[in-house]
Structures are given as C-alpha cells and as structure tokens.
Structure 1
Amino acid sequence: MEEANIVVIGAGIVGLAIAAKLSERNEGVYILEKNAKFGQETSTHNSGVIHSGIHYPPGSLKAKLCVKGNLMIYEICEKYKIPYKSLGKLTVAIEEEEMEELEKLRRWGEANGVEGLKILEKEDIKRLESNVEVEKALYSPSTGIVEPDELMNYFYAKASQNGAVLATKTEVTGLRKIGDEYEVSGTSFGEKFTIKAKSVINCAGLYSDKIAMLIGLDVEKLGYKLHYCKGDYFRLIGKPPVKMLVYPVPKGPGLGIHLTPDLAGVVKLGPNAYYVDNI
C-alpha cells in the first residue's frame, strides 16, 4: 500500500492551487485526477472572468473569497506574466425593476469591499461602449479576464517544484477513515491502487458530492448534493461589438447571457443555463 501525507482529489484550478500552497510546507502531497490532463472540466469551460464580488450577499464566504481572490489573481498574473486584462464590466438595466437590482448589487459590492463601483447614466455608458443601448449600468472596474490554462499551468508548476505529485488517469472509487488516517482506493491507468493518507481534500468539482458520499456523508441532508446546470457559448464573428464585459441583471440560474471579450478581443456570447440530470 502506498503512503501519502496529503491526497488532493481533483486537479482543476482549485485542486492545483491547494496543492501548490500546501506543498510549500508539507511533503508527500499527491493530486489524483481521473482525466488524462489537469483542468479538463469546469476549470476551462467557463468565461475566464475575474469577478469583483458584487453578486454575493455581504458577509458570505463566497463574497469574502471573491474580493480577496480578485486582488490575488491580479497580483499573481502581474508577477508571473500570466496573460490577463483588467477590462471592467457593465451590468446593464433595461426595465425599471432592474434599476432597483443595480442599486442592490452596488450596495452589496460596497459592503463586500469592492472599490470603484458607479451607477452610470446613458450618456456615460455610450462613451464607454457605443453599441450598448441602455438607460443605466453598474460599472465595476476591477472585473477582468484571465487565461485559465495559463493560470493552472502556474499552479501546477509551483506544486511540482515543491515536490507534489500529479497522478492522471487516476479515479478514486473508494474512501474510508481508519483510525486517524484515510484509505483512498480506485483505479490508475486501469490498475487498482490503494493509498493510506493522513489528510484528504475533496476538490472533485462536478463529482465532489460523489466523493463525499464515499466517506459516508449524507449529501442530501447536508445540502451537498449537486444539481447540474449546463450552459452554451457562441463566438461572434466580425468586428467585436464591445471592449468591456457586458452583463445583464442576473435572473434565474447563473449570471445571465453576457458578452465576454477574450484576450485576443474576440467576443463570446453566453452562457445560457439549464438543468440536466446527467453529464
């Protein structure tokens, strides 16, 4: 039986970042990833947006981590030359009821410590984005974009330099606590494996509830059960209609269909959002 100090299950951006940090002061860090390469799921299937922190209730953990993470990502990107752009974002209101929502997002953002938020009128919006026809918008200057693959490459390189080991094509199918340690089992490249670990960190993303169930947690009772919500993107052809991120006032699941320029200036439109039973 193999032995490890810390096992991180899942090599998305969260798993890699955790492994990179923990391996600074701990030996025997292993990252187990069921795919052939790290970051093959939600970490690379998204808008690549560095959010400011306006969408989350004040005092919530998500709000605190988003605002702190916003600053940290910019610092990392600047220090290690990871491609990014601080574009700023317009959250636009069309209907009267959406004007009130803009004010709520501004209040939330300010309570969360987001700096530079402004409610803009039609004329000011036109000066920033000539193709955007709305009455009001919330401007958040600290919103930007990053290349997710490059950010993950940084975290993987840092973890690897610290001695952490990434095992791909390695799927965890068993997890149990034995005394003060954990027994992690599954298949790696088609062969069965078992690892004894002092600590296990669940970073399995879309499969994190299944990992939690392996250890005996009641995911339904604890509220850990995942409900899959998918979204589709389209890439616009021709001259980009916007330079900044342009979002609607959020309604329903997700943050709404938005316009997101990538690092080359090409604009993506999406995602929509719909629930599915399986992935």
Structure 2
Amino acid sequence: MEHIQTLVIGAGAVGLAIAAELSEHHDVVVIEQNTHFGEHTSSRNSEVVHAGIYYPSNSLKAQLCIEGKALLYQHCQSYHVPYKKVGKVLVAHGEREIAKLHALVQQAEDNNVQDLAFLSQAELAKKAPQVKASLGVWSPSTGIVDSHQLMLSYLNKLSAHAGQYVNNTRFVRAQFDGQHFIVTLNCDGELFNLKCTTLINAAGLFAQSCAKQIDALDARFIPELYYCKGQYFSYQGSHPFQHLIYPMPEQQGLGIHATIDMAGQLRFGPDTTFIDTLDYTPNAQAKAHFVKEIIKYWPNLDSSRLHVSYSGIRPKLFRNGAQDFVIQDHTVHGIQGLINLFGIESPGLTASLAIAQHVVNKVTRPLG
C-alpha cells in the first residue's frame, strides 16, 4: 500500500493553497472528485479581494482575511496572477444606513483595517458617478483577482515542490489505526487504498459528507451544513464604474453589490437563498428583485441590459447570524493528524493563503 505524508481532500482555492504551502515541508497529494479543480464555490463568486471590514472582532475570518489579503497581493505579483486593486465604495442612504456605515468603519478599525476614509459629496460623485447615497466610505485595499489563474498558480507551486494533484478521484472513507489513516479512494470507478499520516479535509460543500466517512471522528464535531445559493446578473455594455460599489450588508450577506471583472464588465450579486440540494441553475425570475435593490443606489440602471449570469453556493453552518471559519485539529476532536475545515465561504478566496499557513502551522508544529 502506498504511504504518503499528507492527503488533502478537495482542490478548491483553499485545498490547493494548503497543498501548495505544505508541499514545501511534506510530500503531498491533493485529490479532486471533479474533472477540473475549483468547480464549486472557488469559481462561482465575485472574485473580490476583501479588505476585512465586516467580520466580528477576534474571529478567524477577520484575522485570516487581513493576513490573506496581504499574502494574496504579494503572491499575485510573484506568480504573475492577474489582479487589480480597484478599491470599493461603501454607500449608505438615510439615517439608519448611515449609522450602520459608521458601525462598519468602527468594526474595520477594531479588525486593524486602517485605510478606510469617509468621502465628501464631491469625492463620492467622482469615485461613484451616478450613485445615490447620503454618505460613502472608500476602501482602497479592496481588489479583484482572476480566481482561475490564482488556483492555477497554487497548482504550479505544488508541482514545483513535487506535490501531486489527482482529479476524478473521490474520497470514500478513512480508517484511523492510531497512527495512520487507511484511506479508500474511488478513481474513475475503481477503488484503491493508500496510507497517510496527515489527512486534511478541505472539501468545501462536501466537507461534512467526507467527515462522516472518517471512522474515528465523533459526529458531534461535524457541524450542520446549509446550502446558501447566490446568483449574479451581468450588465451588458458601458457603465460609469471604475470601482466596486457596496450597499449596506444584509442579514445573510453583503447585499447585491456592483463588481467589475478583470475585463471591466459590470456584474451584480449575489442574492441569498437557502436550498436543499446542490443546484446551480440561475433563476431569471430574480431580475425584478435585483432591479429593485440596484436602483436604490444606482437609479440610472438600464434594466434591459441586465441579464442572468451564473450562481454559486456557500457552505453555511447556520441559517442566521454571523459565522466563523471552523478549522479543527486534534486539540478539538482528539485525532492526531486530522484537520477538518468547515464553513469556508467568503472571504475564503481572499484568505486562502492565510488559511493555508494556519493549517501548515497545525501540521508541522507537533513534528518540529
């Protein structure tokens, strides 16, 4: 039976980042059940590099987003990954939203985001032309990144350190013998086993189902999973925006915001809907809701140029309220060598390298 040091389940942005970082220390294999890497949450998002504004103080999301943002921009320069530090404008309309915006700025300061600036009406008109708002705040460190090229750069780093990426390979189960994991994999319909010392479950939307197949893991350490679907609409033709425009956040997300991609095309989203099964089919009927939300801050919207685009699904751990990343090691569940990552949603793309370093520290510390 083949014996490797580390097996990573899931080749999304976080799984690939972990594998790439770990490959500098261990021999690593990362498996992906699909034909291509990053087919789920990692490639179905806004591709925004987040500043770290919204997350609760002392949370993993706040810490790893801010650390990850710096690491990501540095990585993109080193590996020639396309990105743009376009900045974003947070906009508020009316007294209630103004109070919420002030609270957000305070939260950002608590999270050590020090570069936000309130905009005068003249500055707001310049940075967010045609936008209707009582008050605006500028976030210069927010950016956009080509998520596919980012994941490809992680894969290239993994390969450069002799790590392996194996697609069309599904995790079936793992048995822990006290020192190693005997892992059963399904590769194109054929079962085979391998032995690993470290097992990292970074399967995203499938992390809970994988965790349930690890025989030594007590079910109480596996949180509930809720699929939260968000869809996007693209805007055809010219538009006035050079920066991202974010309204005040909603209970389940950051609101239907305006982003631009690397080519400069404008898109809006996501909305939030909880669903029972994985289904990426966009709902064109949501257009009326999008139009209603967008014109609150962009009254000049030409709705005839708004077209349904794509959707993504987040692995939520709760239906309501703020939630943090959950990264469990043996100090939580008692199994040496097992690391489970649950609820890795936004800002997971931004935080991917910081999450990777966080996991690497957990893996290498007991050995060193």
User: TM-score under structure 2 normalisation?
Assistant: 0.73
Q: 2:212·2:222 contact (CA, 8 Å) conserved in 1?
A: no
Q: Secondary structure at the match of 1:97?
A: helix
How many Å apart are 1:61 and its aligned residue?
1.2
What CA distance in whole angstroms lies between the structure 2 residues aligned with 1:223 and 1:67? 27
2:19 maps to 19
Q: Distance in 2 between matches of 1:80 and 1:179?
A: 40
Is contact 2:128-2:245 (8 Å) kept? Answer: no
Corresponding residue of 2:146:
147
Three-state SS of the structure 2 residue aligned to 1:252 is coil
Supply the distance in 2 between the matched residues of 1:34 and 1:187 (Cα, whole angstroms).
9
Structure 2 match to 1:131: 130
Offset at 1:250? 0.7
Would you say 1:245 and 2:244 are equivalent positions? yes
Change (3 A) 1:258 1:212: same
For residue 24 of structure 1, report the CA deviation from its aligned partner: 0.7
Correspondences of 1:1-279 after superposition (within 5 Å): 1-27=1-27, 29-216=28-215, 217=217, 221-222=220-221, 224-279=223-278
1: CA distance between counterparts of 2:5 and 2:162? 12
**Structure 1 position 97, deviation (Å):** 1.2
RMSD of the TM alignment (CA)? 1.3
Letter in 1 for 2:4: A
Distance 1:264 1:198 in 2: 44
Q: Secondary structure at the match of 1:113?
A: coil
Q: Which amino acid aligns with 1:81?
A: H
Separation (CA, whole Å) in 1 of partners of 2:78 and 2:157? 14
What is the CA distance between 1:223 and its match in structure 2? 6.2
Distance across 2 between alignment mates of 1:186 and 1:76: 32
Partner letter of residue 62 of structure 1? Answer: K
State the TM-score, normalized to the length of structure 1. Answer: 0.96
Unaligned runs of 5+ in 2: 279-368
- Which SS does the other structure have where 2:51 is aligned? coil
Which piece of structure 1 moves more, 41-50 or 130-139?
130-139
1:2: Cα distance to partner?
2.4
Q: Quick one: distance in 2 between partners of 1:57 and 1:140?
A: 18
- Partners of 1:100 and 1:262 in 2: CA distance: 30
Which consecutive residues of structure 1, in runs of 5 or more, have no partner in the other structure? none
Which deviates more from structure 2 when the two are superposed, residues 159-168 or residues 89-98? 89-98
AA in 2 matched with 1:266 = Q
Q: Tell me if structure 2 keeps the 8 A contact 1:240–1:265.
A: no
Q: Is the contact between residue 121 and residue 135 of structure 1 (CA under 8 Å) also seen in structure 2?
A: no
How big is the shift at 1:126?
Answer: 0.4
Q: What SS does the aligned partner of 1:127 have? A: helix
How far is the alpha carbon of 1:124 from its aligned partner? 2.0
- Give the superposition deviation at 1:102: 0.8
CA contact (8 A) 2:233 2:269 kept: yes
Q: Deviations over 1:136-178 (max 9, x none)?
A: 1221110000000111111000001111111100001112211
Q: Distance in 2 between matches of 1:177 and 1:96?
A: 57
- 1:80 CA drift (Å): 2.1
* Count of residue pairs brought into register by the alignment: 277
Bigger drift between 249-258 and 7-16 goes to 249-258
In 1, the alpha carbon distance for the partners of 2:65 and 2:124 equals: 26
Q: Distance in 1 between matches of 2:69 and 2:91?
A: 21
Measured in 1, the distance between the counterparts of 2:94 and 2:196 equals: 55
Specify whether residues 211 and 102 from structure 1 end up closer, same or farther in structure 2 by C-alpha distance, changes over 3 A only: same
Find the aligned partners of 2:126 and 2:264 in 1 and give their Cα distance: 19
Residue identity matched to 1:150: Q
Once residues 241 and 190 of structure 1 are traced to their aligned partners in structure 2, the CA distance between those partners, rounded to angstroms, is 51
